[in-house]
Amino acid sequence: MAWHPDPGPPLPDTLTRLRPYRYPSMALAAGLLLAVGVAMVWGIAELKRGITWVDHSYRVISEIDGGQVALLKSESAARGYRRTGAAAQQADYLLIVPQVLEHPDNLVRLTDDNPEQNERARRWRDLVHTRLGELERLMDDTQATGTADEAINRDVRFSRMRRASTLANEMRVVERKLLVQRRATTDQRATQLTMFVVLGTAIPVVLLGLLLTGLLRENGRARKLEREARSAMRELEASLAQRDRLSEQRRILGIYAGMLQSAEDVTEAFSLTVETLEKLLPQAGGRFYTLHPSADIADTAARFGTEAIASADVLAPNQCWALRRGQPHRTDDEHGHIKCQHLDQAVPLAGIWTLCVPLIAHGTSLGMLHVSAHERDGTANNDTTLVEAIAEQLSLAIANLHLRETLRLQSLRDPLTGLFNRRYLEENLNRELQRCARRGLPLTVMMLDVDHFKSFNDEYGHAAGDALLSQIGQTLGSLVREEDIACRYGGEEFTVVLPEAGAGEAALRAEGIRSEIGSTTVTHLRSTLGPRTISIGVATFPADGDTPAQLLAKADRALYEAKAQGRDRVVSA
C-alpha cells in the first residue's frame, strides 16, 4: 500500500474566513496609522495656532490693561505735579508717558486681524493722545489763576479719561469673548484630535492584534506541521528501511527456498536453514527438533546462533505447547509468559521472546523449530513471521525428502522380500568392485536359487509361493552384514554381494545361508509349508573376473553347476 503523510488538522474556520481579509486589514491599519500621523501633525499645528490666538487675546488684554494702568499713573503724576509742583512728580510723568504711548500703538498692531477691534483701538489711541494733551496742559497751567484743586477738578470734570476707560473696557469685554471662543475652539479641536488619535490608534492596534494572533496561530500550526512532517519523514525513512530489510529478507528467503528444493537429505536441509536463520536473525539462537517415528520423543537435530534461554536436548511432545497445540507458541511482553517445559525454568522471561513453531507437513508432525532472543525495538513480530515462513518451507522440504527417500527405497527394493532389487545391484556392484580394486581387497558375488520352486507354486499356488519368497528374503536379510548387498535378482533367484570377502570366507558364509534358509518354513492359510532348499553359485574377484558382468556370469554358471550336481549345495566358480 502506498504511504501518504498525515496532512494534519485543518485550519480553524475563523482563520480560514479571515485569511482573505489579511492584506486589506493590513492596508487599512497602515492607512489609519498614516491618517493618525497626518492628523497629529495637523492637530498640533491647529493647537499651536489656537494657542497663538489665545496668547494673542491675552496680549491684547494685557496691552489694554497696561495702557489703562500707565494712563492712570500718568494722570496721577500730572495731578501730583500740578498740586505740589514737585520736580519728582514731573520726572515720574515724563518716565510714564512713553509707556502710555506704546500700549495704544501695540494694541493697534495686535488688532489688525479684527477690523472692529482695530477701530476701537485706534479710537482708544486717539483718546489716550488727547488725554495726554490734557495732562500736558494741566501741568503747564501752573501760572493760571485759581488754585490747583480747582484746576484738577476742572480736569476731572472735562477730561477724556472716562471715555478712554469706557472704550478700554469695551475692548476688554470683546477680547475676553474672543478669548473664551478661542479657548473653546482649541479645547474642542484638542478633544477631537485626541478622540481621532485614540480611535485611529486603537483600530490599527486591534487589527494588528488580530493579524498577529492569526499569524501566531498559523506559525504555531506551521511549526506543528513541520514537526509532523519531520515525524512523517522519520516514519518514512523507517518505512523505507523496513521495506529494504523486508526486500532483503524476501531475497534471502527466495534463495533459501530454491536451494532447499535441491537439498539431497535432511541434514543438508538443516544446514541450509541454519545458514539462512543466522543471516536473517543474527541476534537470535535456537535449535531444530525431529520427532522419532514413534512420535513420543524429539531429538535436537541442529542448532544455530546463541540462545537467549536454554532448551532441552531431548524433549517429549507434551513438554512443548507448540507440539501440543499444533500451532506456533510465542512468549513475550505482548503475548504473555507461558513457558514451555523444555525451556530452562530458572531463567526469567523478562526481556526475552521465545517462539516454538511445529514442523508440520501434510498433516504429519515432523518436529519443532525453537527460537529465542532478547527483545529489541519491537521487531519480534517480524522475526516471528520470518521464523514461521522458514518453518513452513522446512517442513515441506523434510516431508518431500522423506517422500523422496521412501520412493527411492521403493524403487530400489523388492516389495515382496524387502531386499534390494536388480537395479540397485547394478548401480552398486560396480562401485563396490572399484572400491575393493583400489584397496586391493577381494569381493564375492553369490547367486541363490530356490530349488523346485515351480513345483511348489503348482502345488500350493502363487500366493504360497510369494509367502515363501518373502520369508526367504527376510531370512537372507538377517544373515548378511550391514555392508553386504542382498538383492532379489528375479523370480526365485537372489544375489548377495560380499565386499572385502575372499573365496574361503564366502564359501563358509554361503554354507551358513544355505543351511539357514534350507530349514525355513512358512505359514500360509493356517498350514506350515516348507522347508525348501536352495542352490548357491559363488564367484570371487579378482580370480573369477574383474567386472560386474564377469562375476555375475561366473556365479550364475556355478549356480547351474550346483543344480546339475543335485541342488541344495554351494559351488564356487
| Same domain assignment for residues 398 and 453 | no
- Is there a single domain that holds both residue 424 and residue 374? no
Q: Is 543 part of any domain?
A: yes
216 belongs to a structural domain: no
Q: Could you give the CA distance from residue 507 to residue 510 in angstroms, rounded to a whole number?
A: 5
Final residue of a structural domain among 193, 210, 227: 210
Range of the domain at 365: 263-410
307 is a domain residue: yes
Q: Calculate the alpha carbon distances from 269 to 276, 277, 283, 302, 313 in Å.
A: 11, 12, 22, 10, 20
Residues 471, 395 share a domain: no
Question: Does 236 fall in a domain?
Answer: no
- Structure confidence at residue 3 (pLDDT): 46
Do 470 and 378 sit in the same domain of this protein? Answer: no
Q: Are 404 and 423 found together in one domain?
A: no
Last residue of a domain, one of 210, 234, 249: 210
Contacting residues for 473 by C-beta, under 8 A, at least 6 apart? 414, 416, 417, 418, 419, 486, 488, 494
Cα diameter, the chain: 221
Please tell me whether residues 397 and 448 are part of one structural domain: no
Query: Do the domain assignments include residue 237?
Result: no
The secondary structure element, H or E, covering residue 171 is helix 161-261
pLDDT of residue 368: 92
User: Does 129 fall in a domain?
Assistant: yes
Residue pLDDT tens, the chain, 573 long: 444 445 545 555 555 565 676 778 778 778 877 877 787 788 788 878 878 888 888 898 998 999 899 888 988 888 888 888 888 888 888 999 998 899 999 989 988 988 998 999 899 899 889 888 888 888 886 555 567 777 777 777 767 788 888 888 998 999 899 889 888 888 888 888 888 888 878 888 887 888 788 788 888 888 899 999 999 999 888 888 878 888 888 888 889 888 888 888 888 988 999 999 888 888 899 999 999 888 889 999 999 999 989 999 999 999 999 999 999 999 887 777 788 999 988 888 888 889 999 999 888 888 999 999 988 755 555 678 888 888 888 888 888 888 887 777 677 889 899 999 998 998 899 999 999 999 999 999 999 999 999 999 999 999 999 999 999 999 999 999 999 999 999 999 999 999 999 999 999 999 999 999 999 889 888 888 878 899 999 999 999 999 999 999 999 999 999 999 999 999 998
The set of cell numbers assigned to 353 is 521472546
**478 and 350 part of one domain:** no
- Which CATH number is 84's domain given? 1.20.120.1730
What pLDDT is attached to residue 85?
82
N-to-C CA span, the chain = 79
Map residue 4 onto helix, strand or coil.
Answer: coil
**E strands, 250-363, in order:** 285-291, 298-305, 314-315, 329-331, 352-361
For residue 50, give the nearest of 171, 180, 199 by alpha carbon.
180
In the block, residue with C-alpha cell 570366507: 505
Is 27 in the same domain as 176? yes
Is 144 in the same domain as 77?
yes
Closest to 298 (Cα-Cα) out of 285, 284, 281, 311: 311
Query: Do both 475 and 490 map to the same domain?
Result: yes
Q: What is the tally of structural domains in the chain?
A: 3
Q: Is the pTM of this model over 0.75?
A: no
In a domain, 399, yes or no: yes
> In the Cβ-directed half-sphere of 391, how many Cα atoms lie within 13 Å?
29
Domain end marker among 194, 210, 226: 210
Residues 488 and 399 placed together within one structural domain of the fold: no
Measured in degrees and rounded to the nearest 5, phi and psi for residue 497 equal -105, 125
Same domain, 373 and 433: no
Instruction: Give me the CATH number covering residue 313.
Output: 3.30.450.40
Contact (CB, 8 A) for 560 and 546:
no
- CATH number for the domain including 469? 3.30.70.270
Residue 380: predicted pLDDT: 52
Give domain status of residue 6, yes or no. Answer: no
3-state secondary structure 554-569: HHHHHHHHHHHCCCCC
